[in-house]
Amino acid sequence: MKAHRWITTAVAAAALGCAASALAAYPEKNIKLIIPTPPGGGFHVYAQAVAPYLAKYLGNDIKVVLENMPGSGFRRATSALYNAKPDGYTIGLVGIGITLLPQVKGDKLDYDLHKFTWIGRLAYDGLAIGVKKDSPINSIADLKALNRPIKWPHTQRFYPGVFAAALGYPIQVITGYKGGRDYITAVVRGDGEAFVHVPSSTRGFIKSGKVKLIALFDDRYKKEFPGIPTADDLGHPELKKVTTERLLAGPPGMPTDITQKLVTALEKSIADPELQAWSKKAKRPFQPLTPKGVKAVVDGQFEFFEPFKKLID
């Protein structure tokens, strides 16, 4: 009997030793970071900047390799991440907003945003409405005065629909675009009349003289874009809650210890002086959150968007 207990204890100790050894060894190979947009957009820019620092603080001379998976309103990338093996070797950026819309509506999906393993937040952006630089449209009042549906290119109709419903102008949403760069370019070409997008990723189009903003829903950009009417100016402060969240996550069920390694690596990455210098120069600020904070944001977004179900594709 004593011998049996000794063998059982030895086996258990060996198992614990193996688990500890596996954790100590993680990561033993490169880590894939899935991005839901094509190269060039805000999600890709942040991922490209953070990836080498994540690798640095995870150690073991590995790389964090980016994989762009645009398409289906972020669903393709979100599904791939959700259904990946939860071993810490596949992580990804999740864009809360577009991805939660079909879940709020009750569509049958192969992901559940409530079940991701959250690692942290890189950044978030409010939105802005813009038009072509030489457009005669200079304000929300001008949109209303057209008295006809405004051609509005986007990846889906929800975001344009929320702003149209709140601000009181009709729209004709043209879907099928892969990301913000695509639908802003469509407006520049004349294939659309207006767009709604994050200010940080619209900046390049503004500086090159291709587009102009007519409404701003993120107060952090008031200094950079002075004179643009804000959500408060327009009498709709609630529209500041419509944001694009850039959240880092792993599949459901990722081991706690591996998750904590990734959380710590992300925290150290964002605090790194070199990455902070890049952030300032590129005008791409970080707004980090803990996994608990991310969960609160996700829950809050579900609550906010619930009344807008009828606008969802």
pLDDT in tens, 87-101: 999 999 999 877 888
**Of 13 and 131, more confident:** 131
pLDDT confidence of residue 281: 96
Return the pLDDT at 265. Answer: 99
Is residue 19 over pLDDT 50? no
The residues of the chain that CATH labels 3.40.190.150 are 28-124+243-311
Residue 188: count other Cβ atoms within 10 Å of its Cβ: 17
pLDDT digits (tens, 9 = 90+) for 103-127: 988 889 999 999 999 999 999 999 9
What pLDDT digit, counting tens, does each position of 169-189 carry? 999 999 988 888 999 999 999
User: In angstroms, rounded to a whole number, what is the distance separating the alpha carbons of residues 57 and 229?
Assistant: 42
Distance in angstroms (rounded) separating the CA atoms of residues 35 and 38 = 8
Per this entry, what is the length of the chain?
Answer: 313
pTM score, whole prediction: 0.81
* 285, 290, 293, 294: CA torsion to nearest 10: 70
For the chain, percent of residues with pLDDT exceeding 90: 73
Class in CATH terms, 28-124+243-311: alpha beta
What's the rounded Cα separation, in Å, for the pair 224 and 222?
6
Least Cα distance to 90 among 257, 258, 246, 256 occurs for 258
For domain 128-241, the CATH superfamily is Periplasmic binding protein-like II (3.40.190.10)
Average pLDDT over residues 119-141: 97
Please report how the helices 42-58 and 273-282 are oriented relative to each other, as an axis angle in degrees rounded to 10. Answer: 170
Q: Are strands 117-125 and 244-250 parallel, antiparallel or unpaired?
A: antiparallel
Report the half-sphere exposure of 67 (CA within 13 A, side-chain side): 18
Find residue 33's DSSP bridge partners.
66, 91
pLDDT confidence tier of residue 306, bands split at 50, 70 and 90: confident
Share of the chain above pLDDT 70, in %: 91
Q: How confident is the model at residue 133 (pLDDT cuts 50, 70, 90)?
A: very high
pLDDT for the residue numbered 311 = 67
Dist. CA 291–CA 267, nearest whole Å: 11
Residue 8 has pLDDT above 80, yes or no: no
Residue 24 scores a pLDDT above 60: yes
Residue 55 scores a pLDDT above 60: yes
In the chain, CATH 3.40.190.10 sits at 128-241
- CB–CB of 276/287 below 8 Å? no
Q: What pLDDT does 169 receive?
A: 96
The C-alpha atoms of residue 217 and residue 244 are separated, in whole angstroms, by 12
Mean pLDDT of the chain: 91
pLDDT, position 148: 97
Q: Is the pLDDT of residue 18 over 50?
A: no
Distance between CA atoms of 174 and 238, rounded to whole angstroms?
Answer: 25
Q: Omega before 27 cis (within 30°)?
A: yes
Residues 256-267 have pLDDT tens digits of 999 999 999 999
